[in-house]
């Protein structure tokens, strides 16, 4: 073999991201909306020094390379300091999901063997319910987000104030673990995904590419997606790498608050799950022209399927462009996103909407295929449904210390996503379901995603989730849970008539239940498992 003559031993380290921001972008801003509505702002220059102070403080607390240091925090600038201070020194940032039940957090923090937890003061009531069950825990550091740190805890600000703002970070092997995140584990225990410096750096580069999210120095980025949900989709690292302004929403994620922040801070890119954006769209529709959102170049929506009616409503009524993205905690998370390709540049809006409503095609370095139940690779014909498998440099190769889940990884090096998709000839993926949500009625698959997208295109509907209800004859039949917009409603017959032109008769939901709200998961997705628990026997009872 003839080797290339390049610096192939140059190791991709996250500390580089911090050093770059400190030396090149020290004037650029980072803003946090505090719980009381006030705004905190400082520069990347301030951020750089404080992040190094935090690394020094953690070192003084005894944190060593490989130790897991957890955060239990909202989205704010101090969380961003932890995002780099911990991996840069060779320790592992473990973001804990503050919406989980204390028993899940106990399992997760014990499994990860967290040694230090950095927690917001406002979340101490949660932390206090599980910190006593963590044998590995040595210190809790409290961020005084909503008042002074209580006695008996280390205070974040006091701790770092005593430290130097210089830290000569080690040159780490790029395969060194940098961060970890647990998936929700709706079946079985949560599973840990352990990112490396290399995977985080390559993912950040991908986030900056023009054909993906094009994050750059001119951006002002608002991650509504929590920093404990798959690294806020990689936006924080991409922002520090490029010096993009960061705008953090803190704990308050009300649509009104987010819109105020987007307008005031001239946000260019905001990201979150569809349920957040459904609320925002409803508020914009009710108050046209109230907010100047002319700075916004796109809203990245993913985590579950973005309803086409929402994508259409944002574009047509408010001239706002949605970038529909697909990903998983296991894929760092960005796997694909819905871009209209060049040959469709002049296509009519309706044709583009169809493309924007897919989960898009894979981003560079992520490969996709779909397979049948025997593992046979299926054709890209836009019709044949199968399980999506992916591989690439920021896709998990195994779960952390978990041999039970080894069958999620194929012998030929692919990760089984558990998502059921079709792929068309241009490589666009359409997710029809997660395998655990699929409805099998008399042996035929019915796509819950397609049905709920269609129900959510009814003008009176705010949210809809379709799920499997047990049926005496057909095993399972679709049942729809519907939430109407304030002051609006529709009859079941009207909803059925709205769906009829688009689906085969046997696809139509057997019934509709009207709810005040659809139960949501810890990251804001429709919680179909809850709906199945509550309404799974609804049709049997009615029969
Ligand atoms: P959790 O398992 O807690 O929901 P993840 O965010 O890792 O955590 O979930 C990943 C899953 O979310 C994917 O496997 C897929 O089912 C779903 N998902 C993500 N993005 C989309 C999207 N754009 N459309 C439909 N489903 C999506």
pLDDT of residue 16: 98
pLDDT of residue 91: 98
Which is the closest atom of ligand 1 to the Cα of 324? 23
C-alpha distance from residue 14 to each of 85, 92, 116, 254, 421 (Å): 9, 12, 20, 33, 34
Say whether 329 is catalytic. no
What are 372-408's pLDDT values in tens digits?
999 999 999 999 999 999 999 999 999 999 988 899 9
Catalytic residue among 351, 436, 440, 444: 440
Catalytic residue among 163, 330, 387, 463: 330
C-alpha distance from residue 368 to each of 229, 280, 398, 428 (Å): 23, 32, 18, 10
Phi-psi region of 97 (alpha: psi -120 to 50; beta: other; left: phi over 0): beta
Count of CB atoms within 10 A of residue 256's CB?
Answer: 14
Rounded CA separation 313/311 (Å) = 6
Question: Ligand 1 within 6 A of 213 CB?
Answer: no
Q: Is the pLDDT of residue 246 over 80?
A: yes
Residue nearest to atom 11 of ligand 1 (CA): 328
What are 85-137's pLDDT values in tens digits?
999 999 999 999 999 999 999 999 999 999 999 999 999 999 999 999 999 99
Q: What's the whole-number mean pLDDT along residues 425-448? A: 92
Q: Is the pLDDT of residue 185 over 70?
A: no
Q: Is the pLDDT of residue 35 over 70?
A: yes
Question: Ligand 1 within 6 A of 303 CB?
Answer: yes
What are 247-298's pLDDT values in tens digits?
999 999 999 999 999 999 999 999 999 999 999 999 999 999 999 999 999 9
Rounded to 10 degrees, what is the CA torsion of 378, 382, 384, 385?
100
Residue nearest to atom 16 of ligand 1 (CA): 434
Q: What SS3 class is residue 422?
A: strand
Q: What's the whole-number mean pLDDT along residues 347-359? A: 97
Q: Is the pLDDT of residue 310 over 80?
A: yes
Rounded CA separation 451/448 (Å) = 5
Say whether 183 is catalytic. yes
What are 41-96's pLDDT values in tens digits?
999 999 999 999 999 999 999 999 999 999 999 999 999 999 999 999 999 999 99
Q: Which two tokens stand for residue 105?
A: 């957090």
Say whether 394 is catalytic. no
Place of tokens 């050093």: 19
Place of tokens 């961060």: 179
3-state SS of 11-38? Answer: CCCHHHHHHHHHHHCCCCEEEEECCCCC
Which is the closest atom of ligand 1 to the Cα of 522? 3
Question: Ligand 1 within 6 A of 183 CB?
Answer: yes
Residue nearest to atom 12 of ligand 1 (CA): 303
pLDDT of residue 188: 75
pLDDT of residue 169: 98
**Among the listed residues 401, 408, 526, the one whose alpha carbon sits nearest the alpha carbon of residue 107:** 401
Q: Is the pLDDT of residue 184 over 80?
A: no
**Among the listed residues 250, 228, 252, 119, the one whose alpha carbon sits nearest the alpha carbon of residue 180:** 228
Q: Is the pLDDT of residue 445 over 90?
A: no
Q: Is the pLDDT of residue 189 over 90?
A: no
CA–centroid distance, residue 163 to ligand 1 (Å): 41
Which is the closest atom of ligand 1 to the Cα of 329? 7
Rounded CA separation 255/259 (Å) = 6
Catalytic residue among 51, 95, 183, 422: 183
**Among the listed residues 159, 165, 163, 101, the one whose alpha carbon sits nearest the alpha carbon of residue 130:** 101
CA–centroid distance, residue 200 to ligand 1 (Å): 19
The β-bridge partners of 118 are 71, 141
Which is the closest atom of ligand 1 to the Cα of 418? 14
Q: What's the whole-number mean pLDDT along residues 205-216? A: 98
pLDDT of residue 186: 61
pLDDT of residue 187: 64
Decide the pairing of beta strands 220-223 and 269-272.
parallel
Say whether 113 is catalytic. no
Helices 255-264 and 274-286: crossing angle in degrees, nearest 10, is 80
> Exposure pattern of 401-415 as b/e (b: 16+ CB <10 Å)?
eeeebeebbeeeebb
> Exposure pattern of 272-300 as b/e (b: 16+ CB <10 Å)?
bbbbbbbbbbbbbeeeeeebebeebbbbb
CA–centroid distance, residue 387 to ligand 1 (Å): 14
Question: Ligand 1 within 6 A of 230 CB?
Answer: yes
Residue nearest to atom 24 of ligand 1 (CA): 305
Which is the closest atom of ligand 1 to the Cα of 330? 7
pLDDT of residue 513: 96
Taking a C-beta distance cutoff of 8 angstroms, is the pair 139, 61 a contact? yes
CA–centroid distance, residue 515 to ligand 1 (Å): 23
Q: What SS3 class is residue 4?
A: coil
């Amino acid at each position: 073999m003839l080797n290339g003559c390049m610096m192939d031993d140059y190791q991709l380290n996250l500390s580089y991201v911090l050093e770059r921001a400190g030396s090149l972008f020290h004037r650029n801003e980072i803003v946090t909306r505090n719980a009381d509505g006030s705004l905190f702002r400082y520069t990347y220059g301030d951020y750089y020094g404080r992040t190094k102070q935090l690394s020094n403080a953690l070192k003084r607390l005894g944190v060593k390379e490989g130790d897991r240091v957890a955060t239990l925090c909202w989205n704010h600038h101090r969380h961003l300091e932890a995002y780099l201070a911990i991996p840069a020194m060779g320790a592992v940032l473990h973001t804990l999901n503050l919406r989980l039940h204390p028993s899940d957090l106990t399992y997760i923090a014990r499994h990860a063997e967290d040694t230090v937890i950095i927690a917001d003061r406002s979340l101490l009531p949660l932390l206090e319910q599980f910190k006593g069950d963590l044998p590995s825990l040595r210190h809790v550091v409290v961020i005084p987000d909503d008042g002074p740190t209580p006695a008996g805890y280390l205070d974040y600000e006091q701790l770092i104030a005593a430290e130097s703002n210089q830290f000569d970070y080690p040159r780490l092997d790029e395969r060194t673990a940098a961060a970890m995140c647990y998936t929700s584990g709706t079946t079985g225990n949560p599973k840990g995904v352990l990112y490396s410096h290399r995977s985080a750096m390559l993912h950040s580069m991908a986030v900056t590419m023009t054909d993906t999210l094009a994050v750059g120095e001119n951006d002002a980025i608002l991650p509504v997606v929590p920093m404990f949900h798959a690294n806020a989709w990689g936006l924080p690292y991409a922002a520090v790498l490029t010096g993009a302004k960061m705008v953090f929403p803190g704990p308050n994620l009300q649509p009104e608050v987010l819109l105020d922040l987007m307008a005031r801070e001239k946000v260019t890119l905001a990201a979150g799950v569809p349920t957040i954006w459904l609320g925002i769209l409803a508020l914009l529709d009710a108050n046209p022209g109230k907010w100047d959102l002319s700075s916004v170049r796109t809203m990245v929506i993913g985590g579950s399927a973005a309803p086409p009616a929402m994508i259409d409503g944002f574009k047509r009524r408010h001239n706002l462009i949605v970038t529909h993205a697909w990903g998983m905690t296991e894929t760092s998370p960005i796997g694909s996103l819905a871009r209209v390709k060049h040959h469709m540049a002049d296509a009519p809006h309706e044709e583009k909407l169809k493309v924007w409503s897919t989960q898009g095609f894979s981003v560079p370095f992520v490969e996709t295929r779909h397979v049948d139940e025997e593992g046979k690779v299926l054709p890209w014909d836009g019709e044949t449904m199968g399980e999506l498998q992916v591989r690439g440099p920021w896709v998990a190769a195994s779960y952390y210390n978990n041999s039970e889940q080894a069958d999620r990884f194929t012998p030929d090096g692919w990760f089984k996503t558990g998502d059921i998709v079709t792929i068309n000839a241009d490589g666009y993926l359409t997710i029809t379901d997660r395998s655990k949500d699929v409805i099998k009625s008399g042996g035929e698959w019915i796509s819950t995603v397609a049905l709920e997208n269609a129900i959510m295109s009814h003008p009176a509907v705010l949210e809809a989730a379709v799920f499997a209800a047990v049926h005496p004859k057909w095993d399972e039949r679709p049942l729809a849970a519907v939430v109407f917009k304030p002051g609006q409603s529709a009859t079941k017959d009207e909803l059925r008539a709205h769906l009829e032109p688009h689906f085969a008769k046997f696809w139509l939901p057997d019934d509709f239940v009207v709810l005040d709200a659809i139960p949501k998961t810890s990251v804001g997705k429709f919680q179909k498992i809850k709906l199945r628990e509550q309404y799974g026997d609804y049709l049997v009872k009615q029969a």
